[in-house]
Amino acid sequence: MVRAAILPAVGAPLEIREIVLPDPGPGQVRVRLAAAGVCHSDLSLADGTMTVPVPAVLGHEGSGTVLSVGEGVTHVAPGDGVVLNWSPSCGECHHCSIGEVWLCAKALSGVGAVYAHDAAGTPLHPGLNVAAFAEETVVAANCVLPAPAGIPLAEAALLGCAVLTGYGAVRNSARVRPGESVAVFGVGGVGLAALQAARIAEAGPIVAVDVSPAKEELARAAGATEFVLASDTTAKQIRALTGGQGADVAVECAGRAESIRGAWDSTRRGGRTTVVGIGGKEQKVGFHALEIFHFARTLTGCVYGNSDPARDLPLIAGHVRAGRLDLGSLITDRITLDGIPAAFEAMLAGKGGRSLVVFQPAAS
Q: H helices of the chain, where?
A: 40-46, 94-97, 162-168, 189-200, 216-222, 234-241, 257-266, 289-295, 309-321, 340-348
Q: What average pLDDT does this structure show over 330-351?
A: 91
* Cα 303 from Cα 315, distance rounded (Å): 19
Most confident of 5-14, 189-198, 349-358: 189-198
Q: What is the mean pLDDT of residues 9-19?
A: 93
- Percent of the chain at pLDDT > 70 equals 99
Q: What percent of the chain has pLDDT over 90?
A: 88
Q: Exposed e or buried b for every residue in 182-195, given b needs 16+ CB within 10 A?
A: bbbbbbbbbbbbbb
- At 141, the pLDDT band (50, 70, 90 cuts) reads very high
pLDDT in tens, 29-41: 999 999 999 988 8
Query: In this predicted structure, what is the pLDDT of residue 363?
Result: 47
Question: pLDDT digit string (tens) for 71-130?
Answer: 999 999 999 999 999 999 999 999 999 999 999 999 999 998 999 999 999 999 998 999
Mean of per-residue pLDDT scores for the chain: 94
pLDDT at position 362 is 56
Question: Under 8 Å CB-to-CB from 364, ≥6 apart: which residues?
Answer: none
- Over residues 327-349, the mean pLDDT reads 92
| Predicted local distance difference test score (pLDDT) of residue 364 | 41
Query: What is residue 99's three-state secondary structure?
Result: coil
